[in-house]
Chain A
Amino acid sequence: EDQVTQSPEALRLQEGESSSLNCSYTVSGLRGLFWYRQDPGKGPEFLFTLYSAGEEKEKERLKATLTKKESFLHITAPKPEDSATYLCAVQAWGGTSYGKLTFGQGTILTVHP
């Protein structure tokens, strides 16, 4: 069974203080690893898809990396508007995985000015 574990559960940063969020996963065959951002009362907002170990993607202050066992979301010089819950999800290959993302519990990020 696919599993995703995110750490830490919560992270409090000062504005400008860079850090990383971790996503550890086990999956039979990785089709894709996804990062989402979710603000309170809203649906998850798509950030990145990573497909293979060694892949990296960047968007503004965010950079996602992937190894065979985990992914990191690096946040450089965060701002208060980066405060949100960050979700990691995996999708496996195979018919039993059609349209199914397996999510971690998320990391609640708070950035203080």
Chain B
Amino acid sequence: KAGVTQTPRYLIKTRGQQVTLSCSPISGHRSVSWYQQTPGQGLQFLFEYFSETQRNKGNFPGRFSGRQFSNSRSEMNVSTLELGDSALYLCASSSGLAGAEHNEQFFGPGTRLTVL
């Protein structure tokens, strides 16, 4: 069974630009969560999508947005990039079904974004 894939793996952008990151979940999984990982703040939750609907959102500015497609693939977009947006962006997939036993999240390798 293929794992979670993320593209691209590395990105270099300049301040003010926008960026789109992609995530393909494990086959059969319908929930995709996004996280930002930095040395200072650790792993922080951005948002979660299930069946093309955003069900939950973390405390990030509106410049961070996402969407999910009918095949469960998800994208996140960051507009008007700032230096502080440099981070490892991780997506995680889970079944998204009700019941505690269905909420294990499996992470992709991440996209390393550098903002100059």
Contact = CB atoms under 8 A, between A and B. Distances in A.
Contacts of A87: 43
B45 A102 contact: yes
B21 to A, nearest CB: 13
B96 A99 contact: yes
Main secondary structure of the interface of B (DSSP, over half): strand
Q: Which of the four size classes fits the interface of chain B? A: 20 to 34
Given A34-B105, A100-B56, A51 B100 contact: yes
28 contacts: A32-B100, A32-B103, A34-B105, A41-B112, A42-B109, A42-B110, A43-B90, A43-B107, A43-B109, A49-B104, A96-B56, A97-B56, A98-B48, A98-B55, A98-B56, A99-B32, A99-B45, A99-B47, A99-B48, A99-B50, A99-B55, A99-B94, A100-B58, A101-B35, A101-B43, A101-B45, A101-B92, A103-B43
Among all A-B residue pairs, the 4 with the closest Cβ atoms: A99-B48, A43-B107, A98-B55, A103-B43
